[in-house]
């Protein structure tokens, strides 16, 4: 319901809890509800390479009615034309960079970053590319949205709601340094 509330109000969010508490299943329930309300545009999940097969298995188990397309491996370019007919596209952070032009050209309904701490460095190409993707809704999933310092949280918020916490320098001066 919380994810539905966010989407219904044009908001984005971070779903952060310990591993194994159901972030993937909750997200699949949300994506299913969104598909039923607003069919047409696919959603995109970007996850670590080793986690993409788990997403595919969870889709098959909990949301088999979703047409999932897994973009992995050297022959994935042959699948690019199927993106528009999918309900859900699954790919990895390394492939976000390699397939960026294809992914950027698509208008996504929901964009999910699993293990969102992968974009904790705002200067990294992966973080920059994630921010440039077009999506009506954005969700970060993470067991560790902040591992080392508050700047990592700023990077996630920049992806979700650009400008909400100000620019990086202002955030560091006014919030990060005084808090840390």
* Percent with pLDDT over 90 in the chain: 70
- Give the predicted TM-score (pTM) of the model: 0.92
Residue 21: per-residue pLDDT: 67
Q: How far apart are CA 28 and CA 22, in angstroms?
A: 10
Q: How far apart are CA 54 and CA 22, in angstroms?
A: 13
- Give residue 103's Cα distance to chain centre: 13
The pair phi, psi for residue 22, each rounded to 5°, is 105, 25
Residue 26: per-residue pLDDT: 92
* Percent with pLDDT over 70 in the chain: 96
- Quick: pLDDT tens for 104-142: 999 999 999 999 999 988 999 999 999 999 999 999 998
Q: How far apart are CA 104 and CA 83, in angstroms?
A: 12
pLDDT band at 25 (very low <50, low <70, confident <90, very high): very high
pLDDT mean across residues, the chain? 91
- Quick: pLDDT tens for 89-103: 999 999 999 999 999
Residue 83: per-residue pLDDT: 97
For the segment 134-162, the average pLDDT, to the nearest whole number, is 86
Strand 134-142 with 43-47, pairing: unpaired
């Amino acid at each position: 319901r919380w994810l539905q509330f966010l989407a219904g109000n044009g908001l984005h969010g971070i779903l952060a809890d310990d591993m194994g508490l159901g972030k993937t299943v909750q997200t699949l329930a949300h994506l299913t509800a969104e598909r039923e309300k607003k069919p047409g545009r696919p959603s995109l999940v970007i996850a670590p390479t080793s986690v993409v097969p788990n997403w595919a298995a969870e889709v098959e188990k909990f949301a088999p009615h979703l047409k999932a397309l897994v973009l992995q491996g050297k022959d994935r370019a042959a699948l690019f034309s199927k993106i528009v007919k999918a309900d859900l596209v699954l790919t990895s952070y390394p492939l976000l960079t390699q397939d960026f032009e294809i992914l950027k050209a698509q208008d996504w309904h929901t964009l999910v970053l699993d293990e969102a701490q992968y974009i904790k460095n705002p200067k990294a190409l992966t973080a920059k590319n994630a921010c440039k993707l077009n999506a009506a809704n954005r969700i970060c999933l993470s067991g560790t949205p902040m591992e080392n310092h508050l700047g990592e949280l700023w990077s996630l918020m920049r992806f979700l709601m650009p400008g909400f916490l100000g620019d990086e320098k202002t955030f560091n001066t006014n919030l990060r340094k005084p808090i840390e």
